[in-house]
């Protein structure tokens, strides 16, 4: 599944059956090459982030969580990773050889495990196994 496909998807509590919010953005862990969390919009409180571990099911039509008390304000490790958004400002992709490969257009992931599978650039697809880091200037991939 692509990040763009699931953007705006509703997040529903299995306890109350109410919509808690909609997917606005993703927090990734470049070292683990996984999703670390999902950022929501239209939530009722300040807490707008679901750690990936609290996602019960990432379904085709809705993302299911237990209740809205799994929502957090990112802190610690999750807050650090919040700065490492992959698509923000169409982030540049640099290889370890210092070559500009393009800009991240979209990201593909496995909705069952949260594992990132590919970085989609305008003209090419990069295997997410090559992902090394995401900084404020560029995403670094193995040459």
Partner 1 sequence: MSLLMRASEIIKRPVVTLEGEDVAQIKDIIYADSGGQVGGFTLNGRGFLSGTLKTALAWGAVVALGPDAVMIRDEDALTNRDALIAEIVGKNGVGGGDVLGSRVLTDDGKDLGKVLDVVIEVTNEGRSFANVVGYEIEPAKNLGADLKKVLVPLPDTIAASGQHLIVPAAALDFVTNDLAGFGAAMRDFRERLAKAAP
Q: Does 100 bind partner 1 (CB under 8 A)?
A: yes
CB of 113 to partner 1, least distance (A): 24
The answer to whether the Cα torsion of 28, 29, 31, 33 is positive or negative is: negative
User: What is the smallest separation between the CB atom of 123 and partner 1, expressed in angstroms?
Assistant: 15
**CB of 57 or CB of 143, closer to partner 1:** 143
Q: Cα dist. 132→15, 22, 86, 96, 137 in Å?
A: 38, 29, 12, 9, 14
139 binds partner 1 per the rule CB under 8 A:
yes
On whether the CB atoms of residues 87 and 78 are closer than 8 A, the answer is: no
Where in 60-99 is the site for partner 1 (CB under 8 A)?
A: 94-99
- Binding site residues, partner 1, CB under 8 A: 94-100, 132-140, 143
């Amino acid at each position: 599944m692509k990040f763009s496909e699931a953007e705006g998807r509703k997040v529903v509590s299995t306890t109350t059956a109410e919509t808690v919010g909609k997917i606005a953005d993703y927090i990734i862990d470049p070292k683990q090459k996984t999703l670390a969390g999902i950022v929501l919009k239209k939530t009722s409180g300040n807490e707008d982030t679901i750690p990936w571990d609290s996602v019960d099911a990432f379904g085709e039509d809705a993302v299911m969580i237990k209740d809205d008390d799994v929502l957090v304000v990112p802190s610690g490790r999750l807050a650090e990773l919040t700065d490492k958004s992959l698509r923000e400002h169409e982030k540049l992709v640099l290889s370890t050889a210092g070559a500009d490969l393009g800009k991240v257009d979209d990201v593909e992931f496995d909705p069952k495990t949260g594992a990132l599978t590919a970085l989609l650039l305008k003209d090419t697809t990069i295997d997410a196994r090559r992902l090394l880091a995401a900084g404020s200037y560029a995403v670094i991939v193995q040459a």
